[in-house]
Amino acid sequence: MIKENGKGLLIVISGPSGTGKGTICKRLLDEISNIKLSISMTSRKPRGQEINGVDYYFVTKDEFENRINNNEFLEYAIVYSGQYYGTPKSKIEEDLNNGTSVILEIDIQGALKVKEIVKDAIFIFIMPPSMKILKERLMNRKTESEEKVMERFKTAYKELNEFKKYNYVVVNDILDEAVDKVKSIILSERCRVDRIEDIYLDTPEEEIHEELMEKNFNNSNVEI
C-alpha cells in the first residue's frame, strides 16, 4: 500500500560522557529492527575488555591523520586528552542506501559537523538527571583515572549548553524510560510523510472499489 523511499535514517546520539549513551544504544540494537551502530575509529588506546573492530577501530595517530588526508571520515574531532575520534563514511553510505538505519554515538563537536553535512539526520541529546548523578556514574564506571573523570566532568558543563542544537532531548534517569523515549523517537521518525514516495493499490478489487468511491463522491457533489 505504501512505497517508502527505502533509505535508512541517520541517528546521531550525543551528550556528556557518562550520561548513558552507550548503555542506551546497546538496548536500541536489541529492541529495534534494521538498525546498526557505526563503529568509530580512534587514536586512543583500548581500555578494559574493548576489542578492535567491535568497540572501535583502534589506530595510531599517524594512521588516523593519513585517513583524514584521504577524506575517509564523515566527521572527526579531537576529544579527550588530545585523542582523535572519527566516523568512517564508506560503510554508512552503503547501509543507509540499503535501508538500514545507522546510529552515530559521537561527541557534540562531531554531531554539529554532521548537522552541516547531512540535513535530514536526527539529533538526540542524552541529558543526565543531575550533575551529581553524572559524576557518580562516571566514577562508578571505573573506566578512567580520577584525573580523566574530572576532565570529562568539567567538559560536561560546557556540553550541556549545546542541547538546543538538537532535535530531541531525553533525560536518562530511569534507564527503561529513557530507552522507550529514544525508541519512540526513532520509530516515529520512520513514519514521517516525507519518507513515503507513493501509495499504490494492491489488487484489481481495490481499484474497482476506488472507482466506486470516486463516483459516490462526484454524485454527492452534484446533490450539494
Nearest residue relative to ligand 5GP (C-beta) = 110
Exposure of 224 by Cβ count < 10 A (0-12 exposed, 13-18 middle, 19+ buried)?
exposed
Question: What is the β-pairing status of strands 10-14 and 101-105?
Answer: parallel
Closest Cα to residue 189, out of 163, 171, 168, 164? 168
Partner touching 85 among ligand 5GP, ligand ADP, none, CB below 5 to 8 Å by kind: ligand 5GP
On whether the CB atoms of residues 191 and 184 are closer than 8 A, the answer is no
Minimum gap (Å) between residue 67 Cβ and ligand 5GP: 12
Q: Which residues contact 29 (CB under 8 A, 6 or more apart)?
A: 35, 36, 37, 103
Rounded-to-integer distance, Cα 105 and Cα 107, Å:
7
22 belongs to the binding site for ligand ADP (CB under 6 A): yes
95 belongs to the binding site for ligand 5GP (CB under 6 A): no
Choose the binding region for ligand ADP from 57-65, 133-141, 186-194, 205-213 (rule: CB under 6 A): 133-141
166 belongs to the binding site for ligand 5GP (CB under 6 A): no
| Cβ proximity to ligand 5GP, 108 vs 186, nearer residue | 108
| Cβ proximity to ligand 5GP, 44 vs 190, nearer residue | 44
Interface residues with ligand ADP (CB under 6 A) are 17-23, 137, 140-141, 172, 175, 178
